[in-house]
Structure 1
Amino acid sequence: MAMHSFSEEKAQAVLDTFKAHHEMLTARAKSMNGVDLAASGELTVRAECISVAVENGQICLQLPLGFGSICLPIPTPFPDGTAAQACLDICTPYWVPTGVKITISIAGHVVLTKVVGKC
């Protein structure tokens, strides 16, 4: 079974983006002397997309940032060897990642989305 991997370096770049964004919002809230509603909610950033292929009716991925690995079922009628794209989004309410969202697309159409952790 082929295990496709996302880049730890690209995931780290997203974490750096989260931290910079959090610092900017913190400074903004201090200057506003109050609650900044723009600072609430979740931030999700695309880390990368990689080329993958269906094997044994699934696509297996090694996730960055300690989220482990996962094999995702691909619905029929996509046979083994079908080219696909796996995209990874990293989620956070502040700057510490709480989850990742994986999107699998075939021929430009999303066939599966899976969240690991909390997004």
Structure 2
Amino acid sequence: MALLTDILIGLIAALHLYFLYFEMFAWDTIGRKTFKQIPPEVFPKTKVLAANQGLYNGFLVAGLIWSLLIEDHHWSFYIAIFFLSCVLIAGIYGALTASKKIFWIQGFPALIALILIHLKW
């Protein structure tokens, strides 16, 4: 169970690392392909905003990876809960304000990881 939880946390961190990359460095290319419902002329105007979002995703990546590297079981548990909860809340907010798909891509894996981490405890 512990290995499965750590793998899921690692996958969630990798997913957010991908978000960081395309929001900060590939907004005009991958961003356009990802968000087809947004008119193409909007992307150059929102590049700085997207980069800001990418930076926040980087903080989530840092926290999730940190939780995997902490040797103290209690600290690792609490740090993972905090950052997974942040991801879950972001996924719920995205589903409520933008697209339900965001919950399934971002929030649902975090919810599963939170359940698994509590079973691991």
Does the pair score TM above 0.5? no
TM-score, with structure 1 as normaliser: 0.32
Of structures 1 and 2, the larger Rg is shown by: 1
TM-score, with structure 2 as normaliser: 0.32
Higher strand residue share: 1
